[in-house]
Structure 1
Amino acid sequence: MLDLISHPAEHVVAMKASGVVTAQELQHAIDAIEAAKQAHSRVSLVVEIEGLRWMTLTALMKDVGYGLTQLGDLEHYHRAAVVTDQEWVKHLAHLEERLFKAVEIRTFSTREHAEAMAWAAELPKGDHEDPEEDGYHGA
């Protein structure tokens, strides 16, 4: 299951993944990311992963396909916070961080959820958007 969750900063798309992720659920998340990219110069992500087992084959193909289309568009992304206690997910996030150097990717344990949400809300200095204006005032 992949559900969008609320985040007070408008430039942050937050979601929670668990169990089995379907293509329809993934498309809903992709649509939210694309809408945020249209509205904001920089977009950050928060992905909470708890008990994720797998993606359906269609979802996996959609995820890979979307990821490949984003390679030339990485300047729209600022940060990705991955909140999980699953070690294999942490290893995958570290690999992605090395592959996609234009995007800051950081893992957080589930105990560090509030820290992850705050970190994702931060924007680069000089960016015209201010996390405080987007409504994020900390935990």
Structure 2
Amino acid sequence: MLDLITHSAGHVVAMKAGGVVTASELQRAIDAIEAAKQNHPLVSMVVEVDNLRWMTLGALLKDVGYGLTQLGDLKRYHRVAVVTDQAWLKHVAHLEERLFRALEIHTFAKRDHAAAMAWAAELPRGAHESPEEDGYHGA
């Protein structure tokens, strides 16, 4: 299961994952990320993970494929907040932060969900959430 979660900041795509994630669920998340990229120069994400068991093969292939297409566009991503109490996911997030230095990735305990949402919403000094304020009109 992968569901989108409402976030007050338009540049933040928030989602909750648990159990088994399917390709169609992952596609909805990818569509939300792409929509945010069309409307904002920087995109952040919040990924709350609770009892994630696995991804279907289709979801895994879609995730890897989409991830590879984004490597040249990492400057468009600002922050990823991973909210979980699962220790193995915290280790994966720390490894990804080392691999993708252009992207800030932090982990938060489930009890700190509100702090994760607030952290993801913060933009760098001088950046604005509204694309009109930056003169941004999509890629």
TM bin, normalised by shorter chain, reads over 0.9
Deviations 1:4-46 (Å, cap 9, x if unpaired)? 0100001000000000000000000000000000100000000
Pairing of 1:1-139 with structure 2 (within 5 A): 1-129=1-129
Counterpart of 1:86, as a letter, is Q
Any stretches of 5+ residues in structure 1 without a counterpart?
Answer: 131-139
Residues 64-107 of structure 1, C-alpha deviations (whole Å, 9 max, x = no match): 00000000000110000000000111111001000111110000
Aligned residues of 2:9 and 2:129 also touching (Cα < 8 A): no
Q: Which runs of 5+ in 2 are unaligned?
A: 131-139
Output the CA distance in 1 between the equivalents of 2:85 and 2:37.
29
In the aligned structure 1, how far is the partner of 2:31 from the partner of 2:75? 18
Residue in structure 2 matched with residue 133 of structure 1 by the alignment: none
Q: Compute the RMSD of aligned alpha carbons.
A: 0.8
SS of 2:14's equivalent?
Answer: strand
How many residues align? The count is 130
Q: Distance in 2 between matches of 1:90 and 1:57?
A: 23
Partner amino acid, structure 2, of 1:108: F
Moved more, 18-27 or 120-129: 120-129
Alpha-carbon distance in structure 2 between the residues aligned to 1:118 and 1:98: 23
Cα distance in 1 between the residues matched to 2:57 and 2:63: 10
Runs of 4+ in 1 over 3 A off after TM superposition: none
Partner of 1:135: none
TM-score (norm 1): 0.92
